[in-house]
Structure 1
Amino acid sequence: MSDIMRPIGFDHLMTWVMDEYRTQKTIFGQQRIVRTDPDRAFAIFDEKIETPFGPAAGPNSQLAQNIISCYVDGARFFELKTVQIMDGEQLREAVAKPCILAPDECYNCEWSTELTVEQAQAEYIKAWIACKVIARELDLGDPDGFVFNMSVGYDYDGVCTPKIDGFLNGMMDATTTEAWQKSIAWLKDNVELFENVDEAYIDSISPRVSSSVTESTLHGCPPEEIEKIATHLIEVKGLNTYVKCNPTLLGYEFARKTLDECGFDYIAFDDHHFLEDLQWEDAVPMFERLQALASEKGLEFGVKLTNTFPVDVTRGELPSEEMYMSGRSLYLLSISLAARIAKQFNGTLRISYSGGADAQNIEKLLKSGIWPITMATTILKPGGYERLSQITGILANVPGATFEGVNVEKVEALALAARESDKYEHAIKALPDRHVPGELPLLDCFTAPCRHICPIHQDIPGYLRAVDEARYEDALNIILERNALPFMTGTLCPHTCTNPCMRNYYDQPVHIREAKLEAAQKAFEEVLPTLVANEPTGPKVAVIGGGPAGLAAASFLSRAGADVTVMERTGKLGGIVRHVIPGFRISDADIDHDVSLCLAHGAKVETGVSVESAAALKNLGYDKVVIAAGAWAPGREVLPEGSTIDAIEFLEMAKKDPESVSLGTDVVVIGGGNTAMDVARAATRIDGVKNVRLVYRRDAANMPAQEEELLDALADGVELCALLSPVALADDVLTCDVMELGEPDASGRRRPVKTGEQTTVPATAVIRAVGEQLERSLFENSGIELTDRGLPKVDSHLMTSVDGVYVVGDARRGPATIVEGIADAQVVAEAITGCAFDGKGASNIDPEYGKNLATRGDLCLSCDKCATSRCLECPTVCETCVEVCPNRANIAVRVAGERQRQIVHVDGMCNECGNCAVFCPYQGGRPYKDKLTVFWSEEDLHDSENEGFLALEDGRFKVRLDGEIRVHDIDDPACGLPEGVRRLIQAVRDDYGYLLCK
């Protein structure tokens, strides 16, 4: 049953590990298997760890395969998932599913192992023995170079019950446990499977699985209870002990202010946990007493920073009322608490750290004296466990050490730097949807989200690879196949392609637009002469308007053989980009380059021509007419009192003759879109202007403008006056209603509502940048039927109600982006000529499958200085659901004859945490539900609704497809299964047999 994890027996576990390594050179999907250096070990307790990091108590340390995955990727300190008196089915019923949400900062609504305590102990013991064996067999490091740290909670009575006490005893000496005895016996019975492990080595494996514990208590646990548990663990059980602290020790005001200042103001919580949790004045003397007690007993004592942070569910993030925050927002609090504790104890109190640690900060944490360091959020993201491999490399040259204290100054510097760093600040605007439309296919799900979401479906991975390899001519040719305007789009495109870029979950999206411009700049001179004008063989087409959409239409049509003439009413091609977009955004030279590329296939141009109707052109012998007129009409007036300047008129004049523009000292721009940002930035460059203010009735987070456009405006000195609605202009003063955000409107944004208050803004000139419109005369004169919005009614080919007359770009949509205009031009060109523009589609797939896998888990530590695009080659290797599954329940399977691997889901290893659904590129994707599933029993097959299969003893397979269960002989091509499904099941049976039996 898919929400119940089935622990793997030790025999299956080891068979899986050895068979997978022998056949795939991977272990639980981990290909970057790490060998650590025993000479750089860190002393801890009376043991040693070859690397000072590992998984935090959580989803990545709850099953044996999870722990092994961490180990082979370099982790050597394991904080095992918390056990408590509530366990198994009782706990599963209390945990809502899905329970993990980690697209940015992470949230969860689970708190301890969903196994029974006895099962959890067995998992940890099996993992302990397995790691010892793997270390020796594969020479991954000193078999004694790692440490298991227990985590128990949540109250004193629970810790003292036979269940938890037995857990502690069995972990301190596993000799009498069933898991130990069965595992050791299996190893001895199968010693011939190993080359470097013999019976003497098996006998040498220590049964002392753990000698340390982290005390984890519930929020609201009184200080005397916390101390009583810790005292018991130290004095009675003789365990090296950490006490896990909550960020609430910082106080409500500090936490609220810190998160608000860093843009996490949407994270909701009140002060009740801060009032109920351990207080600073109680914590300090308690830690002093426990530190002295541990020293007296010859044990180590420290604090674990920090527990996750409880916040409210306000937007349906998870199916619970409260959830626990971690990740980069928690780092702000955890490192601040570390600094406070370090200062209070003058660096003498040991700090075990967890709370937003990752590849970008771990070295600084370590060098400040904070270790061991455990992580959860970073390895729940794409790249998964292999992110630990990168961390191993980062710390490879850090010498081993014993704890000699925490450097107070360094930790304080880290806390200050975090509050000032862009990395720990949330975006001004809400994160865009990072999924592409559609449901996850059962097979062949690999896709390039960037290409999918791009309006022109640009072959992005293909040209990124070419740019990375300095093949600029190839890159530009790939771009030109579907994009006629690489300079304009390389400069001005809103690059929505970066929204679903999987790289968002690592560091920052791939710089797709910049790579396009680089290719255009470096290959233009070489590529332009190769674009040959062919003799027209197709229809005679008139394109009205020489802006981006018209140029793109001319390019595609002439390339496809049409006889094209562009008719432009001004003296130069380029439309609004040429005449209105400020020169600091794009140069005339770059516009000229795009014009040259678009005309290279033979399109003719007539400038200074005004077209009154499409019929007039048809009377001149044109077979088809494409209307590509821009949105030049003035926007609507927004002030009941006082006059304003139209944005397009201002920008046109500011570009043509800026010396003639007089705005006074204080300019107000009304609007919140990208045009408003251009207007505001252009106004700052007009002589005499001292202040430019953007007045917008919503807040910055709800502006339609792209965040980068807003940030550029703010960097130019523009002041944002949010939540103001202009009312009247008189005597150089703009009066505005003060607004507040109410309930969401039809667009999903919160509706601005008047508060009843008014304020004033100095305004020697007011420019309105709202509601740019189309001139309707051409449509009306041509007899084209319009919608209620004044836009032409069109069919799927963008043909209007007049036969043979098409519309593209602004003429079709109203104010449109350049890339939307190109997309329309493609549709019309295909409709008129029958020619498709997908000759470079295959370039998206890397012919050298998997060459980028070696760095797939790596965060870029300095994206602006990175030598390559950082593209993950998603259409070649997606497999994100494999990487992010803590339990290794999603498996990538190679099927003979297919370039990309297929995904199968292992039902028995899944607890439906939902993490794979968070990162699946498809909007409706739930890999744990939607992928072909391997079942281990009849019971699980029938308890699930997943499409999937069960191996039968007679060699056949019971398969559920389309809701029906049937038995199939998969070696018979006529067995009735779809060929792709049949071949996938064959591949699992023949090459991944360890997936089939429990």
Structure 2
Amino acid sequence: MENPMVDTMNPLDLTNLIFAIFSEYSKSGSIFNISNNYFYRPSSKGRINFWGKTLDLPVGVAAGPHTQLSQNIITSFLTGARFIELKTVQDNDNIQVDKPCIYAADEGYNVEWSTELKIDQALQEYINSFLIILILQDILDLKVQTKEKSQNLDDGFIFVSSIGYSYEGIRSEKVNRFINELSGKGSKVKEIASKLIEILNQPFCQKFARNLGKRFPFDVLEKIATDSYPITQIVTLSTMHGTKPEEIETIIRYLLVEKKLNTILKVNPTLLGYQKVKSLLHGHGFGYIKLSEESFAKDLYLEKAFEIVERALVKADERKLHFGIKVSNTLPTINQTNMKGQMAYLSGRALFPISLEVAELFRKKFKNLVISFSAGANQKNIKDILTNGIYPVTVVTDLLKPGGYLRLYNIAKLADFSLSLKHKKFNASEIATGKQYQKLMEHPFFPLEKKVINTKIPLFDCFIAPCVKSCPINQDVPLYLRFIEKKDYKNAIKVIYAKNPLPFITSKICTHFCMYNCTRKFYDKSIEIRNQKLLATKKGFNFLKEFINQEKKNIKKNNIKVAIVGAGPAGLSAANFLARTGFDVTIFEKEEKFGGIVNNAIPKFRIKRSEIEKDIELLKLLDVKFENRFIDKISQLKDEGFKYIIVATGANNSKKLDLEYNEGNLFDSIEFLRDFNEKKRINLGKEVIVVGGGNSAMDAARAAKRIYKVKNVTVVYRRTENELPADREEYENAISDGISFRMLRQPVSYKNKTLTCEIMQLSEKGIDGRRKAIPTGKYELLKADSIIVAIGEEIGKWFS
């Protein structure tokens, strides 16, 4: 069968575009698959004046795949873009672009530049989307409500045209007409506004407006249809790498003087020079990216760029216009992707430190120069960029990652704050620091070479979610996340509870293999699955109780008695499933409180007692009985009529530390944590050492740090951070609490408040994939008023 996929873009006409938007919203409350929950409604905090126009937010989308078709532009606006740079047009609009033309597994690469549409098509798309945004902004309440009446019809958002690439091409008849039409000097805007009025007066559209309790802004549309209106009065100039300085300056003068347009010059990262750019890439782990020295040799030099900008600022001021720069254009690299072509143009996070260095140089030279930014901007750095006086900020590559436009929604939320418009000097290296700008080829917790699923994928089921497969109970994570996205917490908690009888406990202390195996971790961070589960559990808890009470009516009792010894997570889970299938279940627990080690040993700063009680409450709804009684003989329960007995006493006995001398204050980690939870007085002294590398060690260390008079807590572990068995989250929490770590240390003796440790080294990986700790014969002495031993637990033996 012939492949129905086509390489040519075919825009929707205005009638079908309106019909598609209104139909989908009426049916599902979404537009282009973006739920109304993710339509961004700015507060008044982020509102700024930009070159005479009001921006509700200083963020948006850069010229690229998100500003080509009307659907893309409208979706960008809905999710938070208010500064919208339209895809670049050029005189030669008959270019055939090979597909694929974008590669963005991590950093981005592209082999195309301008829009794939004909100029007349692009013009139609840009006007269509502008007018539709005016309507949606009004009837969906997507703009900031203010007392002052604005003179601008497009109050709150700004369209910016982008043109290239040569003086001759920009002055051509096609591009000249495009500029004039977008500037409101032609008839196209009036023509499309009139057509839109006709469409909105049709019964289907009128019914849509009535159902919303709104009226279309016909007064605005009629004004545009009569007088026309400038879609944009700002243009971004994009020139080819290697364009001569004289030509760049000539184009700028033409745009300012003849076309009377506020102008933004897109500058190239090559301004830093080959060696500087290469050094920055290597320093951030992107040394595998191959550069072409020739691209740097032919491109504009920094001093010449300064001269061009200086004269452009003067010329703009003379004309009562504005001039600024955009940092930065993409960076030409040797193509190493599967795309066609010798060169591929770099974007995304690898470009961020480079472009920020360029911005720093221009800010030092021109104190009040407007610097727009688009090079690896994302939700992690948007505040840093804006607070340093760099705005507006636009994104592209980040939106090509899973989540798509919803990433823009998160960026908009973070950018919605009161922004100082002061142009500050800043240090690029201080902003572009941290692991988010490093390409980690061997991450200690998430090794890139790791397969997330070890089993074979079935022949006719080519997609398996690793979060489901890696979960010990095969929880349907994608399904409950979809319900949470729609704020349908009732169905979300039903999906969770179907396989997980302890939703509160597992929302706080689950090992969350689902997150360790999330495919997003290879280029981003995992979805916060556990936190989302907690949200659904809190929001859906009352409904879950109602659901259990209803389902309980359908349970057929079999009158078979089952005893469960131990009220920890295993015992509670077994009781839940058995009770749901008709068994008469009783749980026996020797401790006063139910919940096992979760309640008695895990510190309260990790999980609240009230949360544990809520999971137990669900069991009581199922008529599970609880008894505080120590059971040491199976026969005892048999005599009481229990047909089946489940032993779920857990591993509560701490392993002993083998020391040559043991003459000091040694604590068992489990007993210590019990005493800590019961708020008993514990005298540890000032210097505390915790031996071990698991979660119990992290809990003990963090608890010890909170005890009166304790000054320093150090964790001693015989391997390195890479082999640490503790959850990454618990390790990072310990560091945040001020816990120190001494890796490759094996305790051998403890006396006179001194712990002697042998310094270890690691062997090569063995058959089991682990590296053994090998003694070196060298030692280190550590001060220790107390030692807490947390080297693992084992099962106790007290049954007969």
TM-score per shorter chain, which class? 0.5 to 0.7
Letter in 1 for 2:23: T
In structure 2, what is the equivalent of residue 59 of structure 1?
65
TM-aligned CA distance change 1:228 to 1:480, over 3 Å = same
The answer to which structure, 1 or 2, has the higher relative contact order (CA under 8 A, 6+ apart) is 1
Q: How does 1:837-856 map to 2 (within 5 A)?
A: none
Q: What residue ranges of structure 2 are gaps of 5+ in the alignment?
A: 139-151, 202-217
CA contact (8 A) 2:567 2:588 kept: yes
Query: Deviation digits for residues 911-932 of structure 1, max 9, x if unmatched?
Result: xxxxxxxxxxxxxxxxxxxxxx
In structure 2, what is the equivalent of residue 127 of structure 1?
125
Of 22-31 and 642-651, the range deviating more from structure 2:
642-651
In structure 1, what is the equivalent of residue 670 of structure 2?
651
Q: How does 1:189-588 map to 2 (within 5 A)?
A: 193=199, 212-215=235-238, 227-234=245-252, 240-246=263-269, 249=272, 282-292=301-311, 295-296=314-315, 301-307=323-329, 324-326=346-348, 337-347=358-368, 349-355=369-375, 357=377, 370-377=390-397, 379-380=399-400, 384-385=404-405, 407-409=422-424, 412=426, 430=446, 455=473, 457=475, 484-485=501-502, 488-489=505-506, 491-494=508-511, 511-512=531-532, 515=535, 537-558=558-579, 560-567=581-588, 573-582=594-603, 585=606
3-state DSSP class of the match of 2:585? strand
Distance 2:119 2:767 in 1: 52
Residue 679 (1) aligns with residue 683 (2) = no
3-state DSSP class of the match of 2:110? coil
Q: How does 1:18-167 map to 2 (within 5 A)?
A: 18-25=18-25, 28=32, 54-67=60-73, 69-70=75-76, 75=82, 77-81=84-88, 88-89=95-96, 91-92=98-99, 95=101, 99-101=103-105, 107-113=107-113, 119=117, 121-131=119-129, 134=132, 142=153, 147-152=159-164, 159=166, 165=169
Distance 2:292 2:697 in 1: 44
How much does 1:108 deviate?
Answer: 1.5
CA contact (8 A) 2:559 2:584 kept: yes
CA contact (8 A) 1:669 1:767 kept: yes
3-state DSSP class of the match of 1:712? helix
Compute the TM-score of the two structures, normalised by the length of structure 2. 0.65
TM-aligned CA distance change 1:300 to 1:510, over 3 Å = farther
In structure 2, what is the equivalent of residue 940 of structure 1?
none
Residue 5 (1) aligns with residue 7 (2) = yes
TM-aligned CA distance change 1:456 to 1:276, over 3 Å = closer
Letter in 2 for 1:5: D
TM-aligned CA distance change 1:295 to 1:637, over 3 Å = same
How much does 1:242 deviate?
Answer: 0.2
Letter in 1 for 2:65: P
3-state DSSP class of the match of 2:742? strand
Query: Deviation digits for residues 703-723 of structure 1, max 9, x if unmatched?
Result: 44333322332233311234x
Query: Deviation digits for residues 452-499 of structure 1, max 9, x if unmatched?
Result: 96848499969998999999xx99999877655566446534456777
Amino-acid identity (%):
21
Distance 2:725 2:540 in 1: 29
How much does 1:734 deviate?
Answer: 0.9
3-state DSSP class of the match of 1:109? strand
Distance 2:500 2:245 in 1: 67
Query: Deviation digits for residues 30-59 of structure 1, max 9, x if unmatched?
Result: 67689999xx996759x9989865421222
Number of residue pairs matched by the alignment: 728
CA contact (8 A) 1:68 1:130 kept: no
3-state DSSP class of the match of 1:737? strand
TM-aligned CA distance change 1:756 to 1:295, over 3 Å = farther
CA contact (8 A) 1:7 1:123 kept: no
TM-aligned CA distance change 1:573 to 1:463, over 3 Å = farther
Distance 1:602 1:50 in 2: 56
Distance 2:377 2:637 in 1: 66
CA contact (8 A) 2:545 2:618 kept: no
Distance 2:333 2:698 in 1: 35
- When the two chains are superposed, the root-mean-square deviation of aligned CA atoms in Å is 6.9
1:628 is aligned, of 642, 648, 655, to: 648
How much does 1:292 deviate?
Answer: 0.8
Of 658-667 and 58-67, the range deviating more from structure 2:
658-667
Query: Deviation digits for residues 131-176 of structure 1, max 9, x if unmatched?
Result: 46647888977489854432546xxxxx47x8xx279652222499
Distance 2:230 2:572 in 1: 75
Q: How does 1:857-936 map to 2 (within 5 A)?
A: none
In structure 1, what is the equivalent of residue 14 of structure 2?
14
Query: Deviation digits for residues 593-645 of structure 1, max 9, x if unmatched?
Result: 76676466243647332247xx9976986433323231245548788x77799
Distance 2:335 2:653 in 1: 46
CA contact (8 A) 2:66 2:72 kept: yes
Distance 1:68 1:389 in 2: 13
Query: Deviation digits for residues 335-379 of structure 1, max 9, x if unmatched?
Result: 5654553232122x2322224556898799778765444222454
In structure 2, what is the equivalent of residue 171 of structure 1?
175
How much does 1:541 deviate?
Answer: 2.4
Q: What residue ranges of structure 1 are gaps of 5+ in the alignment?
A: 154-158, 400-404, 782-998
3-state DSSP class of the match of 1:173? helix
Distance 1:22 1:521 in 2: 35
CA contact (8 A) 1:635 1:646 kept: no
Query: Deviation digits for residues 673-696 of structure 1, max 9, x if unmatched?
Result: 312212322444567764332244
CA contact (8 A) 1:541 1:624 kept: yes
Letter in 2 for 1:716: D
CA contact (8 A) 2:59 2:82 kept: yes
Letter in 2 for 1:552: S
CA contact (8 A) 1:467 1:475 kept: no
CA contact (8 A) 1:565 1:605 kept: yes
How much does 1:511 deviate?
Answer: 3.6
In structure 1, what is the equivalent of residue 144 of structure 2?
none
Distance 2:756 2:337 in 1: 40
1:720 is aligned, of 741, 754, 759, to: 741
2:730 is aligned, of 691, 694, 709, to: 709
Distance 1:375 1:100 in 2: 13
CA contact (8 A) 1:17 1:28 kept: no
CA contact (8 A) 2:705 2:711 kept: yes
Letter in 2 for 1:110: N
Distance 2:41 2:602 in 1: 56
CA contact (8 A) 1:269 1:311 kept: no
3-state DSSP class of the match of 2:562? strand
Distance 2:231 2:577 in 1: 72
Letter in 1 for 2:10: I
3-state DSSP class of the match of 1:710? helix
3-state DSSP class of the match of 2:107? strand
In structure 2, what is the equivalent of residue 988 of structure 1?
none
Distance 1:623 1:423 in 2: 60
CA contact (8 A) 2:745 2:757 kept: no
CA contact (8 A) 2:285 2:438 kept: no
